[in-house]
Structure 1
């Protein structure tokens, strides 16, 4: 039932991740599924949960049965004969309900460990998404640089033509070429950063570092954001884990109370007796069988009182830890919401600025037709266009990265 519940949570979470993407965005979902299946950290945490679950079976046992055999070197004589040896068997039994208390305690620890699986998967989904958006941003910037390099090549052609007719100088041509060199350098650097980020993503998926990643063609900011249910934050697995840890301490205290109760033991002693040959007696040589009952009482119980005090203090600590983490998650969520709003505002502004820069570019091109063009203005406008385009891409990236964080915090 737990696995099914987690599967439903995961489906809902993935659904929110892909809002605003086109049909090619399904590639990200495939990568996330692959990461969840192959990531070694997920496998490690799942094994830890399996080990914790096995503990429930481990504690469902009673103390070992004790067997003892002794041989009398000097046989003690009794009225009915000499005792030759002693054979004993003894079984201690915990107080009523002790084994159940152990099972409940082990089960509560396993439940808390299960939340680590949910948390790790959520974090992995967020990391894969953010890495994917970083790759998209890098690729988009490279495409913008390629377009701007081609644009400068066009301007260079115009400048060479102007030099031939005496309307521009060779310095203008050199400036355009230097600007192209700078852009090519930025593109080459981005390519190396792309490969580094691709390695990071492939490692999250636990596959070959050099494996190519297929990216979406275009990301757009949706016209409206999905409504955020702030109440979901209280049900975040990081906080639920503290609730389960608190419950495990409660179970630990119940177990401590049972452990402080007496233990009852049942046993049997068997003593073989040799027959006497010097006289004929009733029960001559009759073996001795002695059933036994024992009780183990913890008279000195300071140990159990100390454990009770420790449990009480640990519960207080867990409550403070939960409140501290809740405050951190609330801060993180509020920051992500505000930064996503800022990204939308920035995107709108950069779009307006980019349109105005293109209008200015059009005016410059028309001025060339009349025989006048200032290539310093060309470089200035081109630099502004590049700046606005890069900022626009960054705004899109910020929007989706912050969305991934919001999804991590609010999706069940």
Structure 2
């Protein structure tokens, strides 16, 4: 069987990581994770070990060599038999040995697909953690960005109190809100450790190693055509290909079972040392004996072959069911991902409009509060809403990218784009 080129870099290239993208943090992390992943390296070694099975099963049985003596020599006309040397070589039915090698190579191909399937899963796991970490860090940025606004509002409220035109309660409400944001920042610092640890685990680094995140994620783009996406997945997904190779292995096992059910043969020869007779002077006195042998092994007990055939047929049927289940799962995943992407897009549009309107309302109320001391409660509420819209917009952006990553994890290559 042709040996595949097994380098983890192949997977990164197959996943469509272009030269231009390597300058970006996330593709660099994916590249490093797949190159250094011990789990993928272990699967690669298992595949290489599986390739070594074919030479083991495609050889002829070991020849048998025997020696025999005669404590009571058998007398022949030409003399007594003293020693027997024999050798026998067995031969299976023609075509059996190549079929065994082909079966083992097919099993190895199924294991080969497992490497690609696991690489897809690891890539998606890293992308999830990366977007989670991005969301946490950007949430912190939003909260920090709004702290000066609250401080400015607090200073305005204090000035109003000092001038006798405001209430101390206004100052306290701003301070309470500011403390809430500071506490939320402290909580987010702890939350960031979880996705960070996941990323560093996949990169084989210490859990607290810092990650250089992208400055700003724009709205996600969905470059896949939904109508051809499932067709591409059915053709290229490693898990489906693995099941197909397992089915092929079962079919080859059926063909091998037929060959195993046919007779096998043996050829041998014996050389017998004969001692000379002392009581007669004969032509060829003491001449040794050469005996040629042939044997046939008849597999007349058929139940094991019939049971093996039933076993492999059941395997093929079971694998068909698994493929149907996987196809249904993939179809559902695609539908969910597209729904998530569209929901994220609509929410992003909504939150951007609401944010612009809220900013305009805040500007009006700030002017009114500064000059007349009115509408403080409404101003504080709108400041809080502005923060919420920023956070919701961030969540919508991240949700869109996660939806694309969910689809991308099903594609071994990018032909469906």
With the shorter chain as reference, the TM-score category is over 0.9
Conserved? CA contact 2:90–2:267, under 8 Å: yes
- Tell me how far 1:96 sits from its aligned partner: 0.6
Aligned equivalents of 1:196, 1:356: Cα separation in 2: 36
RMSD: 2.4
Conserved? CA contact 1:25–1:216, under 8 Å: no
Counterpart of 2:30 in structure 1 is 32
Counterpart of 2:158 in structure 1 is 160
Question: In structure 2, the residue corresponding to 1:106 is in which secondary structure?
Answer: helix
Question: In structure 2, the residue corresponding to 1:96 is in which secondary structure?
Answer: coil
Counterpart of 1:202 in structure 2 is 200
State how 1:372-387 maps to structure 2 within 5 Å.
Answer: 372-387=373-388
After superposition, what is the alpha-carbon deviation per residue over 1:79-101, rounded to whole angstroms, capped at 9, x for unaligned? 32222222221110111100111
After superposition, what is the alpha-carbon deviation per residue over 1:150-188, rounded to whole angstroms, capped at 9, x for unaligned? 211111111211121122233322222221111111111
Conserved? CA contact 2:221–2:404, under 8 Å: no
Counterpart of 2:248 in structure 1 is 247
Question: In structure 2, the residue corresponding to 1:409 is in which secondary structure?
Answer: coil
After superposition, what is the alpha-carbon deviation per residue over 1:385-407, rounded to whole angstroms, capped at 9, x for unaligned? 12111111111111001101111
Q: Where does structure 2 lack aligned partners over 5 or more consecutive residues?
A: none
Counterpart of 1:131 in structure 2 is 129
- Tell me how far 1:57 sits from its aligned partner: 2.1
After superposition, what is the alpha-carbon deviation per residue over 1:333-377, rounded to whole angstroms, capped at 9, x for unaligned? 111011111100011111111112211211221012323144322
Counterpart of 1:86 in structure 2 is 84
Conserved? CA contact 1:24–1:216, under 8 Å: no
Aligned equivalents of 2:339, 2:195: Cα separation in 1: 26
Conserved? CA contact 1:112–1:245, under 8 Å: yes
Aligned equivalents of 1:9, 1:76: Cα separation in 2: 72
Conserved? CA contact 1:6–1:118, under 8 Å: no
After superposition, what is the alpha-carbon deviation per residue over 1:20-66, rounded to whole angstroms, capped at 9, x for unaligned? xx989711111111111011121122112112212122222111111
Counterpart of 1:45 in structure 2 is 43
Aligned equivalents of 1:248, 1:24: Cα separation in 2: 39
- Tell me how far 1:289 sits from its aligned partner: 1.6
Moved more, 402-411 or 299-308: 402-411
Aligned equivalents of 1:359, 1:261: Cα separation in 2: 88
The structure 1 segments of at least 4 consecutive aligned residues displaced by more than 4 Å after TM superposition are 1-10, 22-25, 222-226
**Structure 2 residue corresponding to 1:116, chosen from 114, 117, 122:** 114
**What is the TM-score of this pair, normalised by structure 2?**
0.91
After superposition, what is the alpha-carbon deviation per residue over 1:221-271, rounded to whole angstroms, capped at 9, x for unaligned? 157755343221221222222222111111111111111111111111122
Residue 357 of structure 2 is aligned to residue 389 of structure 1: no
State how 1:11-410 maps to structure 2 within 5 Å.
Answer: 11=13, 13-15=15-17, 26-222=24-220, 225-228=223-226, 229-230=228-229, 231-235=231-235, 236-410=237-411
**What is the TM-score of this pair, normalised by structure 1?**
0.92
Specify whether residues 349 and 25 from structure 1 end up closer, same or farther in structure 2 by C-alpha distance, changes over 3 A only: farther
Conserved? CA contact 1:72–1:85, under 8 Å: yes
Aligned equivalents of 1:383, 1:327: Cα separation in 2: 44
- Tell me how far 1:3 sits from its aligned partner: 4.4
Conserved? CA contact 1:339–1:398, under 8 Å: yes
Aligned equivalents of 2:73, 2:22: Cα separation in 1: 92
Aligned equivalents of 2:314, 2:58: Cα separation in 1: 28
Conserved? CA contact 2:366–2:379, under 8 Å: no
Conserved? CA contact 1:52–1:110, under 8 Å: yes
